[in-house]
Structure formats: C-alpha cells, structure tokens
Amino acid sequence: MANENVGRFVEQTMNQTQGAMEQYFSFIQNALSAFPMTSPELAEKMKGYTEENMATSREFVKQLSRAEDLQDIVRIQSQYMQDQFHAFTEQTKSLTETFTKTATGSMKNY
C-alpha cells in the first residue's frame, strides 16, 4: 500500500513537472515570437537553455524513480525546485541582457 502511494505520488509529480516545463517553453516561445528583432544569439541561447532544462527534468524523473520512500521524494523534489528556480533566474537575466543588447543595436540602425 505504501509503495503504491509513493508510486502515485511520483507519477503525479512527474506529470506536474512535465506540465510546468511545457508551460515554460510555450511562454518563452510566445515571448520570442512577439519580437521581430530576435537575434541569432538570443535564439541560440534559448535553444541551449531549452536543452539544459530538458536534461535537468529527465534527471529529476530518474532520481524520483529511484526514491526509496516519501522522505526521499520530498528531498529530491525540493532540491529540483530550488535548482530550477536558480536556473530560471539566471537564464532570465542572461536572456534579458541579450535581448536588451539586440534591441539597442537594432535601434542604432534606424
């Protein structure tokens, strides 16, 4: 019974994580498509961050699948959430700097 509950919790967490990642990627894609002056540098950064985030999510799922108990699951999930929050903060800062540089460069051409 306990293993069944842990299994359901892991599955629910994995589904929530996948949903959150899909929303994040959709948001980024929509944000970038709204700006016609997206630079190749910005697009390359986005591609790199997307690949990074997907790899991190896959590793999270692997770790969850090896969890031995609820305490393990909570520890793994807490660490993942903390790491992702930090990564998204750094990625957003980097993308904002790149976008600002691109926008400033584009305005100088007019």
Closest CA to 77 of 6, 17, 20, 26: 17
> What does the mean pLDDT of the chain come to?
78
pLDDT (average), residues 83-93: 91
Is pTM beyond 0.85? Reply is: no
- The string of pLDDT tens digits covering residues 37-70 is 567 777 788 878 888 888 888 888 889 888 888 8
**DSSP conformation letters of 18-41:** HHHHHHHHHHHHHHHHT-TT--HH
Is pLDDT larger for residue 48 or for residue 15?
48
Return the H-helix or E-strand segment holding 107.
helix 70-108
